[in-house]
Structure 1
Amino acid sequence: MAGQDTGERVAALLDELARTGDPRARAAADELVRTLVEFYGEGLARVVRLLGNAPPGADPVTVLVADELVADLLILHDLHPEDTLTRVGRALDKVRPYLGSHAGDVEVLGLDDGSAEGQVLRLRLRGSCDGCPSSAQTVRWTIEEAVARTAPEIARIDVEGATEAPAAGPALLQILPGPPDDAPGGHRPPGSASPASPGLAPPGPAHWHTVGPEGLPGPGHALGSARVDGALLLFVRLPGGLYAYLDRCADCGSRLDDADLSGDLLRCADCGTEYDVRHAGSGAQGHLEPLPLLAEDDGSVRIALPERQAAAS
């Protein structure tokens, strides 16, 4: 169907909806069309820009799949050169160093296509996260986000070895498809939603935020703090790793941006409580609140805050 014919068909359908449907339905349909036009328009603009700036001799497909939004469009239309499990493997390799800080690892058990919902990814978590609910929570969110950003076609993740979920919800990690947050207007395709884990997460979904390299501590042993969406965060840089916690001592409630960092141990300046930075902030009498962290290729990081934490000051 030619582009002009498609445009005329869309206009005719909207006019028919305006005559026969509820005004709110017509407004929703108008918003749907605008969202799709913006989404695909941004994707086309990136394709042109990426190919125009590609070095001589570069493989055009490799150039395109390196962009997350364009890669999502290729996945949506079954044009991506990598299959789902290959992309899932890349996503899990990216988060394994983070899982290691929570005494855990993840194994792919398989990918099932028989569900009416769509593809179901089966994983097994190894490690107990030291029995800490907040640590287990951050592991789940980190896996969710990594998989959702590289394999958005997966409808659900089933996990073996996860901490038992509250009775109010299923023991599942829910993954819903969607483009990256930097799509125009932050819109996801109609019918999709942000990744969430009903029954596994504390009240409120996780909101992912990007912190640029300028907001992070430098190399070596270093501390840094930042306010992200109203929450005070503590970043701790150790050789080979960057860690993020809520900037609050679990024992006395003081901020930790002026704490003493000796090796892997962080010592509160007010009460002297020590926390093991590399192992999910565990301490003798308490546990720091770890935050899911995903490193990006440009030196920035993505941090997840649940609603109850994002609203804290």
Structure 2
Amino acid sequence: MREVVQLYGAALERTVALADPATMDAMVRDDLVSSLLLVHGLHPHDVETRVRTALDSVRPYLGSHGGDVELIEVADGVVRLRLLGSCNSCPSSSVTLETAVQDAVQAAAPETTGIDVETPDSHELKSGVISVESLFSHVHADGGGTHWVEVPEFAEVEVGEVAGFRVSGTDLLVCRSGDDLYAYRDRCPVCEHSMAGAVLERMMGRPARDAAVLTCPTCSAHFSVYGAGARVGTGSEHLAPVPVLIRDGVLSVALADDSVIPVT
């Protein structure tokens, strides 16, 4: 078996040597081929370049929740990041880190061993070094992990529309504001009823992008779409956001393996 692997590696090395720049670029952008290049130590990009590319791939998701991420450096196997915008304090920060950033960084640079997270207002560490293995710790503690599910049907949701979907046994509420898609678990945290029938509204007196809110049809509570589902006004409740990313060219959501939301 070892000889076969070595043969494949030698053949791949020969392919890399013969490839022109355009072909090499196409190989790097293909997730499967890129993984093989990493396994055999033939990837043409250094770890920092790969991490930057990985963060670029999740930047649309972070932006849809009012945030961004800045790469400070990669040193001694640790990726140092700074969260910007509402990602620093919004209720979906853990979701953002654990599903979007961790998944992208680990796939692009499996040799990294941890992530440092800094606040945008200071260079003090927000939570110290987060090992790659522990980023999903609270999900695993609940007895499951996470998995990505392709949801190309989400693309059919039109601007201003709110739609319900059942994905792998989980009921989700999906809406589109502008060019951005947002997904939440279908449960109002205030009255604990389904959000089925919720409408997307705009609140007067707020900046255009921050004005989009989802209104619960049962208790009329308002939740900020751009603010990761945080309740508008009194109360600290928030909807449970679900990451939506384009992975391998297909819209996908990240769900907990044991996540099943009952229909109410």
Q: Verify same fold: TM over 0.5.
A: yes
Q: How far apart are the structure 1 equivalents of 2:63 and 2:125?
A: 17
Quote the residue 2:3 is aligned against.
Answer: 6
Given that 2:67 and 2:85 are in contact with CA atoms closer than 8 Å, whether structure 1 keeps it comes out as yes
SS across alignment from 2:52:
helix
Quote the residue 2:137 is aligned against.
Answer: 198
Q: How far apart are the structure 2 equivalents of 1:246 and 1:232?
A: 6
2:55 maps to 1:136: no
Change (3 A) 1:139 1:205: farther
Post-superposition offset of 1:88? 1.2
Quote the residue 1:148 is aligned against.
Answer: 106
SS across alignment from 2:80:
strand
2:229 maps to 1:281: yes
Change (3 A) 1:255 1:216: farther
Change (3 A) 1:206 1:223: farther
Change (3 A) 1:217 1:274: farther
Change (3 A) 1:89 1:213: same
2:61 maps to 1:98: yes
- AA of the residue aligned to 2:69: V
Report the number of matched residues. 235
SS across alignment from 1:278:
coil
Quote the residue 1:186 is aligned against.
Answer: none
- AA of the residue aligned to 2:219: C
Unaligned regions of 5+ residues in structure 2, if any?
Answer: 13-19, 203-211
Unaligned regions of 5+ residues in structure 1, if any?
Answer: 8-35, 48-56, 114-118, 166-170, 177-194
- AA of the residue aligned to 2:82: R
- AA of the residue aligned to 2:107: R
Q: 2:219 aligns with which of 259, 266, 271?
A: 271
Q: How far apart are the structure 1 equivalents of 2:88 and 2:101?
A: 18
Higher strand content, 1 or 2: 2
Quote the residue 2:164 is aligned against.
Answer: 225
Q: 1:208 aligns with which of 147, 159, 169?
A: 147
- Of 232-241 and 292-301, more deviation after overlay is shown by 292-301
Q: Which one scores higher on RCO, CA 8 angstroms, separation ≥ 6? A: 2
Post-superposition offset of 1:127? 4.1
2:230 maps to 1:306: no
Identity %: 35
Quote the residue 2:117 is aligned against.
Answer: 159
Post-superposition offset of 1:232? 1.0
Q: How far apart are the structure 2 equivalents of 1:246 and 1:130?
A: 22
SS across alignment from 2:110:
coil
Of structures 1 and 2, the larger Rg is shown by: 1
- AA of the residue aligned to 2:239: L
Change (3 A) 1:265 1:217: farther
Quote the residue 2:74 is aligned against.
Answer: 111
Q: How far apart are the structure 1 equivalents of 2:68 and 2:141?
A: 22
Quote the residue 1:69 is aligned against.
Answer: 32
Given that 2:150 and 2:250 are in contact with CA atoms closer than 8 Å, whether structure 1 keeps it comes out as no
- With normalisation by structure 2, the TM-score equals 0.74
SS across alignment from 1:282:
coil
- AA of the residue aligned to 2:150: V
Post-superposition offset of 1:198? 3.3
Change (3 A) 1:197 1:297: closer
Deviations 1:236-269, CA, capped at 9 Å, x for gaps? 1121211111111111122223211124121111
Change (3 A) 1:205 1:86: farther
Deviations 1:37-78, CA, capped at 9 Å, x for gaps? xxx99x9xxx9xxxxxxxxx9933233222212211101222
Q: How far apart are the structure 2 equivalents of 1:130 and 1:58?
A: 39
Alpha-carbon RMSD:
3.3
